Structure 1
């Protein structure tokens, strides 16, 4: 299992390193509201993937296999949700962490939006319900144990790497673009890139459907 596990970790790290909805949302949140908001966003994303891990361990992917329309509907809901988050970032004036809001409310908003981002991210859904099971080998023991180990490893790696990204983005914004206007523009740029990535996923879904 150790060799296959290392291959899995390398695969996950490479996927996390490719900019996608999760990364762009954490980046935008950190630029708009600072490293703390970015960390809570990363924690929410990791928590959402931990929940998906439980569904995979329970065999929920079999439900999607039996009812593919359900999985398709969930992906479209995810596209709509991520598009809404992108527009929030684009229209942001730095207000995700506005002083009029309590820190607890701001932290909860960042965390809960992160949970929604991971639970409704089509890329994440595809990974957990289609790719992760492919690493299973009966010699490793029961599937549920395999799913928990591999799924929670993914969640931990997301938490670690996205939290580091939040710190780096926030530090860079303060160091190189200290003016509030520049920081707002960067967060809006992250929102635009998030929207572009969502539209790209939607285009890939439509082109795939056309081929079939």
Structure 2
């Protein structure tokens, strides 16, 4: 794959990732509620989800995925249910700064699953790859090196952009000092996350 083709794909992919959507909303809500560090597993799940969809397209499994929608529906609803649970936890959370909140055993793995299932429950990711990849490279003739290059490129771009969103959201929260303001933020982000869960379940 030529360097020019990589740049074209990187540019299109970056714009798609940067555009506000359920993933960005969920990352912002999570970071405002618990801080950047505790949002990283969720971002990792989103990255893994994009790579899985990419693998389906490259492996010619897009049609298979469409024919077995029941599996993806189950994943979609499971992810939406967990996001709704997180929304309820945020709504009822005490007005404490992220570093003062206790960690829950297994939280990281659950957040990875939430990010992964949210992404897998969104077939638009697959549609994006189906539409864009043929414009920059022949999917049928992709070498192992090309696939590796694209995977590294996507993981880097997606993680970097989501991390930037998380940092900005975390800093916005830290400007807020009073418990009353923090409670408002918790409920606002909880409501936002509940909206994301509802949007995912309704797709």
Which bin holds the TM-score, normalised by the shorter protein?
0.7 to 0.9
Which residue, out of 70, 78, 81, partners 1:81?
A: 78
Q: Which structure has more helix as a fraction of its residues?
A: 1
Deviation track 1:46-84 (CA, whole Å, cap 9, x = no partner) reads 1332333344333323534xxx432x4355345423432
Residue of structure 2 equivalent to 1:5? 6
Matched length: 192
Q: Could you tell me how far apart the structure 2 residues matched to 1:148 and 1:59 are?
A: 17
For residue 157 of structure 1, report the CA deviation from its aligned partner.
1.0
So what's the TM-score if we normalise by structure 2?
0.76
Summarize the alignment of residues 18-97 of structure 1 with structure 2, pairs less than 5 Å apart. 18-61=19-62, 63-64=64-65, 68-70=66-68, 72-92=69-89, 93-94=92-93
CA contact (8 A) 1:23 1:162 kept: yes
Q: Secondary structure of the equivalent of 1:121?
A: coil
For residue 159 of structure 1, report the CA deviation from its aligned partner.
0.8
Gaps in structure 1 of 5+ consecutive residues = 203-212
Q: 1:50 to 1:177 in 2, by over 3 A?
A: farther
Deviation track 1:118-164 (CA, whole Å, cap 9, x = no partner) reads 23332323323x234323434x9932444443344222211111111
